A and B are shown apart, each in its own frame.
Chain A
């Protein structure tokens, strides 16, 4: 069967089981958009290519499958570099297809030419510049294989226009052997000797902590984690990227560690004698000052990516493995720590002394952002997916939303990309339409990518967006208040400009506003009833509210600042 490269590309995506592409056409990718008309694949037309990338990320994080985005060359391609970088930092599986100028024009500064494989070399797991139509099926198959196996990540396929227009005899690689990836070996045999050393370290420990990172979700190891934790009674912390990997309602869960972590989670790590590190990477937002991080702890580091071993903290045992297999091996060997009663007594005391708290909201407003989040969470159906932007609202959501299952938390961790929330929520809803999807956004973040609500409305993707409108780039304001003598430089946004309700309505969404607790309850109830169009709620929150606890950047986790109402006494 003779096909054009464009037809072969679409057919290859169908072969991979792709059901949704997020994208926006243009000159160089035009040939590929023609056969798309005849395909069963749903294309979601975005309003900015950054939106396409974040939607593909949200889709991937909510479904566990690779997200797919397609854009044109030049500015289309550069517009999607931010999401690619974001996916690279958070190990999210993406396949991004970019149009490219014809092979004969490459290197000649042709119209809308840009060296996107060069630009994205450092922020993709791999990329391809496809040289012939015959190579397209292999590139697609290899891209999905690379994106979704081992440590997942974004893969870019750059398709010159003439390659899409030329013809080929249809074929499709029958398996990994035909992917032409002689240097890629994502699976490893479990090192039994290393497992034995892990088991011995666990056996010797009296103050162990399961330090659970995003790799645990990527490895779909929540079931194994629950079984191992319950059998051993070891306390669990879940990083920002791992929220949902272990139920928040579970008595062994101490919550999130790190810069804005729960006191008991941060302190348990600090006092621990053994960190069982599962798919986490000792990010500076978790460790604080690295030299003072968990100073008495031995470290077991389990990761599929061996380059993580010793990158930040030298492990006592490194075990290269996916998390599920490692936990099964620990269980099979009966790994068990010493009696943990004394350890749990200490931890329970920290939890009792320093729970997550915030000031009661006053009746006539302004609203407390944490209270808004808890009120939304309380009325949201089980299994609701929540996305966020980056800033204070993100940290409050990570702290106050109770996550009970994997793949329900969609956020930008490693890159901290403002504007991630709205498009990521749309992508998540496109991938899991049966789920309720909330985006808890900041007013600053919302203004970066809000236009994708036009996409959501026109494509019938009814997400709910809660803007925690504090009229500020709040997280930056918090740093200026605490570390720059309250000298506020370029952080004020205004609560009324833009008018978020009118803006929402102009985009075909329902727009609501709440300025006090009563209105808050009313609009949440109203939003919960709307299931056909997107809803945007402007919650007027207190500008001066800060995120606590907080470990200031670069200091030891021992110097954690708790909420002002908890200060005095020991700390």
Chain B
């Protein structure tokens, strides 16, 4: 996907005008290619995309797509997605009505000099160490996209080996407006 320039003051992970589409799809081979191909063909931009089996594991998967609502009107994106035969339902969740979470994994080179400050940084962010060897640790943070952004910035002080983010998953906030579900 051609990632657009981040908006001023924002990182690519939390654009101002993003929208979250929670898309229930049939668990059939090629479904992801159909979705990605449609976005590429129509010039719609995807910020992040996460896929996992859904409630009813065998038959359906849930794809959480964070779209750039500036690249095209949201109803165009939803309308074209809806035409894909394997797409079963689309929930459009406005960011303020969503609970969004993301997972960040990072491997950081450690030495005696930076160990204490690193432990502080991890404690401040609420990150956990999930793997260690003499010269490096792998840490994990599960949090809001904003918390992951902050943590990523905090880690810039260290010599990183590798950093991975999953892209967000989201569900509607409880007790708020029910999101527009397109089809059941």
| A side interface size, CB within 8 A | 19
B147-184: contact bitstring with A at CB < 8 Å (1 yes, 0 no)?
Answer: 00000000000000000000000000000000000010
Asked if B8 is at the interface of the complex by the 8 Å CB criterion, the answer is no
Q: Which of A118, A129, A146, A307 has the most CB of B within 10 A?
A: A307
Given A121-B30, A121-B34, A121-B37 in contact, is the A307-B76 Cβ separation under 8 Å?
yes
Q: How far is the CB of B80 from chain A (nearest CB, A)?
A: 5
Is B79's CB under 8 angstroms from A306's CB?
Answer: yes
Is B79's CB under 8 angstroms from A307's CB?
Answer: yes
Among candidates A183, A309, A311, residue contacting B84 with C-beta atoms closer than 8 Å: A183
Contacts of A305 in B (CB 8 A): 79, 83
Is A182's CB under 8 angstroms from B76's CB?
Answer: no
Is B88's CB under 8 angstroms from A117's CB?
Answer: no
Complex: how many Å from CA A118 to CA B30? Answer: 8
Contacts of B75 in A (CB 8 A): 306, 309-310
Is B85's CB under 8 angstroms from A126's CB?
Answer: yes
Number of A-B contacts (CB under 8 A): 46
Complex: how many Å from CA A125 to CA B86? Answer: 11
Is A122's CB under 8 angstroms from B41's CB?
Answer: yes
Among B46-89, those with CB < 8 Å from A are: 59, 73, 75-76, 79-80, 82-89
Q: How far is the CB of B89 from chain A (nearest CB, A)?
A: 8
Is B83's CB under 8 angstroms from A182's CB?
Answer: no
Q: How far is the CB of B111 from chain A (nearest CB, A)?
A: 46
Asked if B102 is at the interface of the complex by the 8 Å CB criterion, the answer is no
Complex: how many Å from CA A129 to CA B41? Answer: 22
Contacts of A311 in B (CB 8 A): 76
Complex: how many Å from CA A546 to CA B172? Answer: 60
Contacts of B87 in A (CB 8 A): 183
Asked if B29 is at the interface of the complex by the 8 Å CB criterion, the answer is yes
Complex: how many Å from CA A311 to CA B72? Answer: 9
Complex: how many Å from CA A126 to CA B84? Answer: 8
Contacts of A125 in B (CB 8 A): 85
Is A309's CB under 8 angstroms from B79's CB?
Answer: yes
Interface size class on chain B is: 20 to 34
Contacts of A345 in B (CB 8 A): none
Is A183's CB under 8 angstroms from B37's CB?
Answer: no
Complex: how many Å from CA A310 to CA B74? Answer: 11
B9-50: contact bitstring with A at CB < 8 Å (1 yes, 0 no)?
Answer: 000000000000000011001100110011001000000000
Chain A interface residues toward B at CB < 8 A? 117-118, 121-122, 125-126, 129, 146, 181-185, 305-307, 309-311
Among B94-116, those with CB < 8 Å from A are: none
Chain B interface residues toward A at CB < 8 A? 25-26, 29-30, 33-34, 37-38, 41, 59, 73, 75-76, 79-80, 82-89, 183
Contacts of B83 in A (CB 8 A): 305, 307
Is A307's CB under 8 angstroms from B80's CB?
Answer: yes
| 21 A-B interface contacts by CB (under 8 A) | A121-B37, A122-B37, A122-B38, A125-B85, A129-B29, A146-B85, A182-B26, A183-B25, A183-B84, A183-B86, A183-B87, A183-B89, A185-B183, A306-B75, A306-B79, A306-B82, A307-B79, A309-B75, A310-B75, A310-B76, A311-B76
Q: How far is the CB of A229 from chain B (nearest CB, A)?
A: 29
Given A121-B30, A310-B73 in contact, is the A184-B79 Cβ separation under 8 Å?
no
Contacts of A121 in B (CB 8 A): 30, 33-34, 37
Complex: how many Å from CA A245 to CA B20? Answer: 42
Complex: how many Å from CA A185 to CA B84? Answer: 11
Q: How far is the CB of B62 from chain A (nearest CB, A)?
A: 13
CB nearest neighbor in A for B90: A183
Q: How far is the CB of A506 from chain B (nearest CB, A)?
A: 43
Q: How far is the CB of A102 from chain B (nearest CB, A)?
A: 17
Q: A183-B87, A183-B88, A184-B85 are in contact. List 18 more A-B contacts (CB 8 A).
A: A117-B30, A118-B33, A121-B30, A121-B33, A121-B34, A121-B37, A126-B85, A146-B85, A182-B26, A182-B59, A182-B88, A183-B26, A183-B85, A183-B89, A185-B183, A305-B79, A307-B76, A307-B79
Q: How far is the CB of A117 from chain B (nearest CB, A)?
A: 7
Complex: how many Å from CA A544 to CA B26? Answer: 56
Contacts of A185 in B (CB 8 A): 183
Contacts of B37 in A (CB 8 A): 121-122
Complex: how many Å from CA A182 to CA B76? Answer: 22
Contacts of A117 in B (CB 8 A): 30
CB nearest neighbor in B for A307: B79
Q: Which of A182, A183, A305 has the most CB of B within 10 A?
A: A183
Q: How far is the CB of B88 from chain A (nearest CB, A)?
A: 4
Complex: how many Å from CA A125 to CA B88? Answer: 15
Complex: how many Å from CA A234 to CA B75? Answer: 31
CB nearest neighbor in B for A151: B83
Complex: how many Å from CA A122 to CA B41? Answer: 8
Complex: how many Å from CA A122 to CA B37? Answer: 7
Complex: how many Å from CA A126 to CA B37? Answer: 13
Q: Which of B30, B41, B59, B183 has the most CB of A within 10 A?
A: B30
Contacts of A183 in B (CB 8 A): 25-26, 84-89, 183
CB nearest neighbor in B for A146: B85
Contacts of B89 in A (CB 8 A): 183
Complex: how many Å from CA A175 to CA B120? Answer: 64
Q: How far is the CB of B69 from chain A (nearest CB, A)?
A: 14
Q: How far is the CB of A85 from chain B (nearest CB, A)?
A: 13
Q: Which of B25, B33, B85 has the most CB of A within 10 A?
A: B85
Q: How far is the CB of A255 from chain B (nearest CB, A)?
A: 31
Contacts of B73 in A (CB 8 A): 310
Q: How far is the CB of B73 from chain A (nearest CB, A)?
A: 6
CB nearest neighbor in B for A180: B26
Contacts of B33 in A (CB 8 A): 118, 121
Contacts of A184 in B (CB 8 A): 85
Complex: how many Å from CA A183 to CA B37? Answer: 18
CB nearest neighbor in A for B60: A182
Contacts of B34 in A (CB 8 A): 121
Q: How far is the CB of B40 from chain A (nearest CB, A)?
A: 9
Q: How far is the CB of B101 from chain A (nearest CB, A)?
A: 27
Q: Which of B33, B41, B82 has the most CB of A within 10 A?
A: B82
